[in-house]
Chains A and B, each alone.
Chain A
Amino acid sequence: MYEFIAFYVFAISTTILFAITALSKNVLYAMTALAAGMVMISGFFFLLGADFLGVVQLIVYVGAVMALYAFAMMFFDATKDIKEKHENPTLVFLLGGLMALVFVVMFSAPIIGENIQALYPVGLAEGLGAYGNAQDVGLVLFTKYLVPFEVAALMLLVAMIAGIILAGKKMDYSLTECEASDEELEKEIKKEEA
């Protein structure tokens, strides 16, 4: 019963919020709606018993990613509306509508559900579940999915470096390693501050 209500509350709110993100003309509204939508998504994760995932969603997505977007938004004058030239809106909505229709039809057919079987079920079948979701996730993550985990870590490192390089100014000129004299250095620093 509770599950029922919770699911529909989350579902409806998520849908509306994401719709605002996709269709709004105001950047601020869009971004806020996105953040809120993501919080609702984490609600789904909690409903599904994926506690760890829900928490990760909140921390990483809502906390870090949305913060990044917020910084990016500094490029805009948030009070003005974004003017977008929309050629062919019918095509866009048609495609979207068709896609939604296809998904609904596809997923509501009971046939699909019956034929799916888990190839390598990890979880309750293996005697897990006694310790709660976080422990289960940890067990699986560091045994079965260790290599992807490490690779993901490396990828994050690369992304960080890439982000710094892309956004940094005068990255090729190092103040500590250049061979200028002290006076010139002072001038450089003053120039930068100005």
Chain B
Amino acid sequence: MEIGIGHYLILSGILFSIGFVGVLRRKNLLMLFFATEIMLNAVNVAFAAIGNYYGDLSGQMFAFFVIAVAASEVAVGLGLLIVLYKKYGSLDLDVISTMKG
């Protein structure tokens, strides 16, 4: 059977949902970042697939930039994570949240 664009997109969607569940579920900040990475990767797959099936290289370009952005986001995010840890001594979300609403 031909692997059509639908397959890739459905796969991307499922991976995105898995990442989504991870983001909602995780209480540890670091693990939260992992789940975010999953989502980003899923989106990359989708971009590349669409780019391939419609003959447009822009899909891959977009995936490049997503990778670049993700990398810098990880750098800054982990830096902040370190500062947070030094302040609160823990990375659990429930411990860190001080705003009362």
Contact = CB atoms under 8 A, between A and B. Distances in A.
A29 to B, nearest CB: 11
B39 to A, nearest CB: 10
Interface string A132-152: 000011001100110010001
Interface string A1-39: 001100100010011001101110001001100100110
Given A23-B25, A69-B34, A144-B61, 11 more contacts: A15-B14, A56-B67, A64-B71, A69-B74, A84-B92, A96-B17, A96-B24, A100-B13, A103-B9, A122-B56, A140-B61
Contacts of A45: 44-45, 48, 63
B31 to A, nearest CB: 6
Contacts of B70: 61, 65
A60 B71 contact: yes
A117 B54 contact: yes
Contacts of A141: 61, 64
Contacts of A140: 57-58, 61
Interface-centre pick from B8, B11, B70, B78 (highest chain A CB count, 10 A) = B11
A156 B63 contact: no
Give the size category of B's interface with A: 35 or more
A71 B78 CA distance: 9
Interface of A: 3-4, 7, 11, 14-15, 18-19, 21-23, 27, 30-31, 34, 37-38, 41, 44-45, 48-50, 52-53, 56-57, 60-61, 64-65, 68-69, 71-73, 75-76, 82, 84-86, 89, 91-93, 95-97, 99-100, 103-104, 106-108, 110, 113, 116-125, 128, 136-137, 140-141, 144-145, 148, 152, 155-156, 158-160, 162-167
Contact of B17 (A75, A100, A110): A100
Interface of B: 1, 3-22, 24-28, 30-31, 33-35, 37-38, 41, 44-45, 48-52, 54-58, 60-61, 63-65, 67-76, 78-83, 85, 91-92, 94
12 contacts: A18-B22, A22-B25, A50-B60, A75-B82, A100-B14, A103-B10, A103-B13, A108-B10, A113-B4, A120-B56, A124-B55, A163-B76
Contacts of A106: 13
Given A7-B7, A69-B30, A120-B58, A21 B75 contact: no
